[in-house]
Amino acid sequence: MIADIPKIKFTGSGNFFLIAGPCVVESRAVLRDVAGRTAEISAKYDIPLILKASYRKANRSRIDSFSGLGDTKALEILAETGAEYGLPLLTDIHNPGEASLAAKYVDILQIPAFLCRQTDLLTAAAKTGKWVNIKKGQFLSGASMGYAVEKVRYAGNNNILLTERGNMFGYTDMVVDMTNIPAMKKTGVPVIMDITHSLQKPNQPGGVSGGDPEMIGTIGRAAIAAGADGIFLETHPDPAVALSDNASMLHLDMLDDLMYTLTEIRKVINKIEK
């Protein structure tokens, strides 16, 4: 099914697909660095790759947190980088009016988790004809995401992805229930595991989310074993200075080893499922 995504490669490899990139378009240099390295790793392991980055962060806790370079400027940088490396692109939208603008530049519109029940937003994304990746709300079960899928299909679009990103556990922690992966696969659409946001520690006293990046590999291995079709992760050449979500990102230097491990697990799963 993902073979229909424009510009995507290696879809016949039997591997999982990867959505990867920095949290936000913070500079042309960082985005090119991440795109170039992830493209190399994608080719090395025959992993279908989608480059992601938010052109604007509309959900920051603090008013003084970085939210973007400006919508058009960030989208242009994203589009230019995708064209340079021949990669399909994904970005978030936050209200119905953003759908048509972002659709001019990217191949996949992502619905943030907190907004996954917003009918007008889902409908606007669907009507662009682009692929729509819906992140499961931190307050929902996997099975309940069938209703979000129905809304996009009702609007005439069958190009849908679902992403698991954990559930709130108290006020400042997340937990991941791997049974949500097979539950969401019953909708008939590809299911992705977000292995970085699921390790966030939101609502910290300083107004900046924490994280537990040491567990990224653990969540990734479990997700592939549980049958995830794709992996979503945020990566940066120097997470310590990233302008958003720096506490939960994967260091770009660690991506190759992680993709090797997950690819080997996927080979085992493919043999078992034959």
User: Over the stretch 243-252, which tens digit does the pLDDT of each residue have?
Assistant: 876 677 999 9
* pLDDT surpasses 90 at 144: yes
Question: pLDDT, tens digit, for every residue of 195-205?
Answer: 999 987 765 55
Question: pLDDT, tens digit, for every residue of 84-100?
Answer: 999 999 999 999 999 99
- The structure's pTM equals 0.94
Q: What is the mean pLDDT of the chain?
A: 92
Looking at residue 63, its pLDDT comes to 66
Quick one: CA dihedral 182, 186, 191, 196, positive or negative?
Answer: negative
CB 124 within 8 A of CB 149: no
* Helices 28-45 + 71-85 axis angle, to 10: 30
DSSP 75: H
Which residue(s) pair with 192 in the sheet?
163, 230
Dist CA 229 CA 19 (whole Å): 11
Looking at residue 38, its pLDDT comes to 98
* 59-68, 180-189, 208-217: segment of lowest average pLDDT: 59-68
Looking at residue 62, its pLDDT comes to 60
12 Cβ neighbours under 8 A, 6+ residues apart? 3
CA atoms within 13 Å, Cβ hemisphere of 158? 3
How many helices and strands, by DSSP H and E, does the chain display? 8, 13
Looking at residue 66, its pLDDT comes to 61
DSSP 49: E
CB 100 within 8 A of CB 129: no
Main-chain dihedrals φ then ψ at residue 244, nearest 5 degrees: -155, 140
